Amino acid sequence: MLVYSGIKTDFMRDVDEDTLAPKIKQTILDKMGRNTPEAEYRSWENSMKNMFIVLSDSQIPDDSGVAIEYNIPQTAKRVDFIISGYDREGHPAIVVIELKQWEKLTAIAGMDALVETYTGGANRTVVHPSYQAWSYAQLIKDYNATVQDEEIDVRPCAYLHNYARTDEDPIDSDWYEDYLQDAPAFTKGQNAKLREYIKKSIVKGDNKQILYQVENGKIRPSKSLQDSIGKMLKGNPEFIMIDEQKVVCEEVLRLSGLCQKDGRKRTVICQGGPGTGKTVIAINLLAELTQKNQMVQYVSKNSAPRDVYLRKLKGSYKKSSVNNMFKGSGTFYDAPENMAGTLLVDEAHRLNAKSGLFHKGENQIKELIHSSLCSVFFIDEDQRVTMDDIGSVDQIKRWAREADSQVYEMELVSQFRCNGSNGYLAWLDDVLQIRETANPTLDDIDFDIRICDTPSEVRDLIFEKNRDTNRARMLAGYCWNWNKQEANNTEYHDIKIGDFEMSWNLNGGEPFAVSDTSVNEIGCIHTSQGLEFDYVGVIIGDDIRYSNGRIITDFTKRASTDQSIKGLKKLVKENPEEARKRADEIIRNTYRTLLTRGMKGCYIYCVDEELEKYLKERLKLRNNKAGANT
């Protein structure tokens, strides 16, 4: 959808007569039913006046097409400004321009394409404007059939008209070089350079015909994108499916195909515990459905699994079209209905009601079902670990019924983590008193679990296991404050227990699960959930202890920086019993999740001495029986 379109002379007249911003505002209200915030309205006025100056060049054809706020079909993404026409050889072209009001930014070393800037009333971590422009252009090229068939050249750039660039400016940091090459960033005082960039592609006008073709292009993954993700998946041992994983994958492929044929909504709920292969299935579906010409995306609320599996899929590729296939669950609150053929929602138990800092939308489950013909939710209700987690089978069924979406339920049982032992999970549930099970001991279970006397002992074991494979990590319950001011300082140690000191995992560099230096840091539930390692060392904080034969949880011992229990104090005043129940579930689920991240072993240190004694006694049951059998 084009909020505003015309030729250059239309645009220049509307800006000159101060009618452009009111026209855009009215069109958004008429077509989208959305009122425009004052800040957004002012940004249009400021940015369009600067674009008026840029286009005030007789060599930019008067009949070249101009589009503002182009909503990329089948997505919730909007391109700020597009100019269309033909190049010197007569080839069709569009220039995609991302407009920014920013006055300064801070580079974030080691984080791919991320910067920090003041926007939305606060300093926030956002993507580099060149990355944003490049990704939008790539989205158009990858999914617009007309752009592919007519070989329309799509050239992206960013224009920060309030940004005073300096020598060795952070916007030009080496971290962003790959994106700046494909999508240069123009700043205050560089109007002439932006004009020259436009004039390289737009030599002859098109009377906005190319804009019309792009807007009405069919949605279809490009052959290059299909080939790219196919090659990434092929031969990658991380994503090989076995047994029931393949069965579930094939059934989802069948149901998704039916949705595309008959246009009816279908919702798949796939339940499975830790290590049953939910993410492996999701990634395989992402590739196979894309190769079947579908618009499909992998979605998760938590960024950690999203970043790690994207990294594993891409391998050494830094910049790839595949980036656009991985989305946060909070990006669909204003997405059009059935924008995607299939959405693959991993870690669905972590979904929230409201989205983002501004609490937009009504309910993420509702929005995801609304946004796709086929919605697939991979879920484990025992891994809800924050007050905001609303993902449940009942909730998914409820919103599916409201959307008239037919529900299909599947279950993954076979355990591929903890050395393939469902018995360890059952033992853990029994030990943490989550539920009574028939597994009071770890008899016949080949899993290396040890209760250590000190956190240093845990650390030494993890260092040893990590040397060869970089697949061992330290984790901890969220009982120590996370100092954001020191987020990149390796010398600052958040976690201190006696003479033991380590940092929470740092902001810079690659994701915690794959970085070569992460073994020197401690991860938490937010950076490890949905991921797996060979060995984990877990520090159990004083939010859980053992007394008089019972496991007792205490949310007051959680760190004040822990957002997972935000809102609990208010609930305590309103409904103390419900608050204690919710807090108890969160804490037990947190440790259950942390203690099941290892495929081969888990080493544990308990702050509470009685809990340590209790766990050692539970392990002795296995050791004593093993000794009696020898």
Output the domain CATH number for residue 161. Answer: 3.40.1350.10
pLDDT for res 230: 86
- CA-to-CA separations, 207 to 83, 144, 169, 197, in angstroms, rounded: 11, 21, 39, 20
Write the pLDDT tens digit of every residue in 579-611: 999 999 999 999 999 999 999 999 999 999 999
The reported pLDDT for the residue numbered 316 is: 63
Structure confidence at residue 473 (pLDDT): 97
Cα–Cα nearest to 74, from 378, 327, 360, 283: 327
The full length of the chain comes to 630
Residue 371 in this model has a pLDDT that exceeds 60: yes
- Considering only residues 360 and 15, tell me which one the structure prediction assigns the higher pLDDT: 15
Cα–Cα distance measured from residue 143 to residue 384, given in angstroms and rounded to the nearest whole number = 35
| Structural domain range at position 612 | 420-628
State whether residue 507 is helix, strand or coil.
coil
DSSP 3-state of 480: coil
The pLDDT value given to residue 111: 75
C-alpha dihedral (597, 602, 603, 607), degrees to nearest 10: 50
**Is residue 342 located within the same domain as residue 432?**
no
- Nearest-Å Rg of the Cα atoms of the chain is 27
CB atoms within 10 A of CB 623: 12
CATH number at residue 316: 3.40.50.300
Average pLDDT taken over every residue of the chain? 91
| Alpha carbons 48 and 21: distance in angstroms, whole number | 8
Residue 501 has pLDDT above 70, yes or no: yes
Residue with tokens 């098109």: 206
pLDDT tens, residue by residue, 195-246: 999 999 999 999 999 999 999 998 899 998 999 888 888 878 888 888 889 9
Same domain, 436 and 564: yes
pLDDT value, residue 419: 63
**Contact indicator for 481, 558 with CB cutoff of 8 Å:** no
The pLDDT value given to residue 484: 82
Q: What is the pLDDT of residue 627?
A: 44
Q: State how far the Cα of 412 lies from the Cα of 277, in Å rounded to an integer.
A: 8
Q: Cβ atoms within 10 A of the Cβ of 547, count?
A: 11
> pTM of the predicted model, to two decimals?
0.86
Q: Give exposure, 108-135, as e/b (b: 16+ Cβ within 10 Å).
A: beebbbbbbbeeeeeeeebbbbbbbbbb
Q: pLDDT: is 413 or 82 the higher one?
A: 82
Output the DSSP codes for 321-358: GGGGGEEEGGG-TTPPTT-EEEEEESSGGG--SSBTTT
Q: Is 498 helix (H, G, I), strand (E, B) or coil?
A: coil
In terms of Cβ atoms closer than 10 Å to its own Cβ (0-12, 13-18, 19+), residue 89 is exposed
Final residue of a domain: which of 371, 387, 412? Answer: 412
In this structure, the answer to whether residues 387 and 475 fall within a common structural domain is: no
**Same structural domain for residues 331 and 471?**
no
**Helix, strand, or coil (residue 458):** helix
Is pLDDT of 514 > 50?
yes
Instruction: Check pLDDT > 50 for residue 152.
Output: yes
- Does 587 share its domain with 438? yes
What percentage of residues in the chain have a pLDDT greater than 90?
68
Looking at the fold, whether 435 and 460 belong to one and the same domain comes out as yes
Domain endpoint, select from 215, 238, 265: 215
Question: Which of 117-121, 304-308, 384-388, 619-623 has the lowest average pLDDT?
Answer: 619-623
Buried b / exposed e over 45-75, threshold 16 CB at 10 Å, is eebbebbeebbeeeebbeebbbbbbbbbbbb
* Span of 145-159, 309-323, 397-411, 453-467 with lowest mean pLDDT: 309-323
Write down which residue in 344, 379, 412 finishes a domain: 412
**CA-based nearest residue to 524, from 538, 544, 507:** 538
The pLDDT score that the predictor gives to residue 563 is: 84
In this structure, the answer to whether residues 460 and 555 fall within a common structural domain is yes
Sign of the Cα pseudo-torsion (246, 252, 258, 261, in order): negative
Asked if residue 182 and residue 233 are part of one domain, the reply reads: no
Percent of the chain with pLDDT over 70: 95
Arithmetic mean of pLDDT, 338-365: 91
Strand ranges of the sheet holding 448-451, from the earlier edge strand across to the other edge: 448-451, 598-606, 533-540, 472-476, 521-523, 500-504, 495-497
The whole-number pLDDT of residue 629 equals: 43
In the predicted structure, residue 295 carries a pLDDT above the cut 80: yes
Cα-based distances in Å from 561 to 123, 571, 580, 620: 18, 18, 19, 37
Query: Tokens in use for 222?
Result: 């490009």
Let me know whether 537 and 608 are in one domain: yes
For residues 370 and 237, membership in a common domain is answered with: yes
Q: Choose among 477, 471, 549, 135: nearest CA to 308.
A: 471
> How many angstroms separate the CA atoms of 241 and 255, rounded?
19
> Which residue's entry shows tokens 């800006």?
15
Most distant pair of Cα atoms in the chain: their distance: 93
Q: Are both 402 and 429 inside the same structural domain?
A: no
pLDDT digits (tens, 9 = 90+) for 23-65: 888 888 887 777 888 888 888 889 999 999 999 999 999 999 9
Inform me whether the pLDDT recorded for 333 exceeds 70. yes
Q: Is the separation of the CB atoms in 530 and 300 below 8 Å?
A: yes
Instruction: Check whether residue 363 and residue 385 sit in a common domain.
Output: yes
What is the spatial distance between Cα 151 and Cα 91, in angstroms, rounded to a whole number? 8
The conformation of residue 386, written as its DSSP 8-state character, comes to S
Three-state SS sequence of 207-270: CCHHHHHHHCCCECCCHHHHHHHHHHHCCCHHHCCCCHHHHHHHHHHHHHHHHHHHCCCEEEEE
What per-residue confidence (pLDDT) applies to 317? 67
Confidence class of residue 509 from pLDDT cuts 50, 70 and 90?
Answer: low
Beta-carbon contacts of residue 499 (< 8 Å; ≥ 6 apart): 456
Amino acid of residue 357: L
For the chain, the domain total comes to 3
Q: Containing H/E element for 107?
A: strand 106-107
Q: How far is CA 207 from the centre of its chain?
A: 39
Reported as half-sphere exposure (CB side, CA atoms, 13 A), residue 84 has a value of 21
Quick: pLDDT tens for 84-131. 999 999 999 999 999 999 999 999 887 789 999 998 888 888 999 999
